[in-house]
Each structure stands twice: as C-alpha cells, then as structure tokens.
Amino acid sequence: MLPRAVAVTRCLSLAAVLGSASVQALEFPLPPPGEDVIGQVQVIKAKYEDTFADIATANDLGYLEMVAANPGVDPWLPGEGTEITLPTRFILPPGPREGIVINIAEYRLYYYPKGQNVVYTYPLGIGREGWGSPVTNARITTKVPNPGWTPPKSILAEHAANGDPLPAYVPPGPDNPLGPYKMGLSASGYLIHGSNKKFGIGMRVSHGCFRMYNDNVLELAAMVAVGTSVRIVNEPYKFGRANGKVLLEAHTPLEESGHESVVDKHTAVINALLKDDQFSNLQLDWDMLREVVAAEDGLPVEIAQPGQQAVVHSETQAF
C-alpha cells in the first residue's frame, strides 16, 4: 500500500496547481451504482493578499475544512506562491441519496435534486458547543426571502448577560443575521439560512441553525421545494468505493465536552466498518487507516485495494 502522502497526491486533479481564481459551484455528477466518491482534490497557489477565509468563500469551502487540509500553513497569511490544498473531493454520506443530507461532522450539506443525476454540496456553519445542531430526520416547511429576525428569549438573555443586548426585532437588510433567505425545518426552532457575516461558514458558530454563504442559500432555495426531506447525520468517518478501491474520509468528531481519546476514535472507525456489510470481505491496510484517522484532514484516502479478501474482526485488529 502507498504511503498516505502519496495516496493523497494521486487524488489531485490533473490541473492541480492553478491560480487562486474562483471555481464553479460544487455540482458533481453522481457516481455510478456501487461507487461513492465525487470530485477531485485541487491545489492552488496563494496570492499575497489571500487568506483561508477568502479562498474558502471563492471555492464553496468552509474555513475549518481548509485548515484541516492544510496543516502547518498560516490561515491568515499563507504567503505568496504557497501551495494550498482545496479539499474538493468527497465521499457521499451513507444512506439514501435523496433530498437534503447534512453531515454536521463535516460542516457540509448535500442536495440530490429529484430526477437528476447530480449532487450539489455546500459548506455550513453549525451549532456551537451548548447549542448543538440536531441529528434527526426533518423536511423543509417554509421558504422566506428577505426575512426579518425575532430573536428567541434564550438568545436575548444570552446577549444581555454578555453586555451585548439585541433588539426585539431585526428587519430585513444587510444587518440581519439570517441573510437574504431562510428555510424553516420541521425540527422545531431550526433553520437553514444565509448570514450577515462573511466569516463563520464551516465553523461551530450558530445557535443550532445551519448558516450558508448568501449566494449558496439563494441557489439552494431556488432548487428545493417545501416538503423536501432533510436528513441530518453526524458521521465523522465516511467509507466509500471508487474504481474498486475502498477509501476513508476522516473528520474531527464533534465534542460537547472533553476530548475523545485515540482509542475512542479507532473504536468508532472499527464499529463503522463492522456495520457495513460491503467491507466485510476486504483486507484493510490498518497502518494507512491509522494515519487517516490521526490526520482528520477530510481528504478521502485509499485504505484497501481490490482482490484482497479477509474478514474484518474488531477483536483481532489492534490499534
């Protein structure tokens, strides 16, 4: 099996090292049946004035996924000519490919338009610690352009306690934290909406709602209808197949308190493998798997090759 760094490099697009110009919205054809991977990792060269926040906005990426994919690079001053990895290759979340699927562990939304063989994906801001976004099955119940905002009592009290009182009502406009559009969910109290702040998409910043870049929320709102399903999951470890190979994409697990140990993380990966029958007859490269879990960089990496057959047993594989 290849070293992890080489395995990641093989995933780079042919036009890997580019200028830092904006790419098109993240729309991909769905992979064929039995495959799960979309997109290609890209590399750009930073300009002098670039920051991760600027690059993320221009490329429909979130701030933390940029940081994870570029360890050791200063996110506020990468430096002229520095090569920046764009994590634009994704393993689709497990489960049905229909409606909207939100994976809070990767701060990302996937939308599968009915009757079309494509998927759109967008970065999200999600609920911060103490205000976690829910894991649930829901649906779009309302669509409201140019919304006003009436802060709930809990948020009014929090801001008042912090010496930053809020008005009882914020009218539509550039100062409205809901941005140019909101979509209500059947999960009571939760929204998908835009934002009046450029920074924060791809981070834990909200009171549980899902924030999007304003151009993204307008694009999504134009495509989805009231009644669209919204499946919210928390999957820090995603497995998938591409060209007969098995890949793993690892993200830092969300934590409400404390930190998961290495053993906890490895146990979660083994459990995810054991519950998926399609991986039961493969011999995995456990050294590579350890490296991917340790890196938590969100880049899909090959962890098994075709033609290797052995049963995965949690009790015999020691991390």
Query: Which DSSP helix (H) or strand (E) runs through 294?
Result: helix 286-295
More confident residue, 205 or 135: 135
Q: Which of 233, 219, 209, 239 is nearest to 92 (CA)?
A: 239
What are the pLDDT digits (tens) for 168-179? 777 888 888 899
Query: Which tokens go with 12?
Result: 């780079």
Mean predicted confidence (pLDDT) in 118-134 = 86
Helices within 23-117 (DSSP H only) = 52-58, 63-69
For the stretch 42-67, pLDDT in tens is: 999 999 999 999 999 999 999 999 99
Instruction: Find the catalytic residue in 193, 207, 251, 266.
Output: 193
25 — pLDDT class (breaks 50, 70, 90): low
What pTM, to 2 d.p., does this model score? 0.88
Instruction: Give the integer Cα–Cα distance in Å for 244 and 240.
Output: 10
**pLDDT above 70: percentage of residues in the chain:** 80
Least confident of 35-39, 181-185, 264-268: 264-268
pLDDT digits (tens, 9 = 90+) for 74-112: 999 999 999 999 999 999 999 999 999 999 999 999 999
Pick the catalytic residue from 11, 207, 209, 266: 209
| Mean pLDDT score of the chain | 84
CB-hemisphere CA count at 13 Å for 127? 21
Q: Catalytic annotation on 193?
A: yes
Residue 10 scores a pLDDT above 50:
no
Tell me how far apart the terminal alpha carbons of the chain are, to the nearest angstrom: 18
Cβ–Cβ < 8 Å for 136, 214: no
* Model confidence at 207: pLDDT above 60: yes
278-314: pLDDT as tens digits: 666 677 788 998 999 999 999 999 998 655 444 454 4
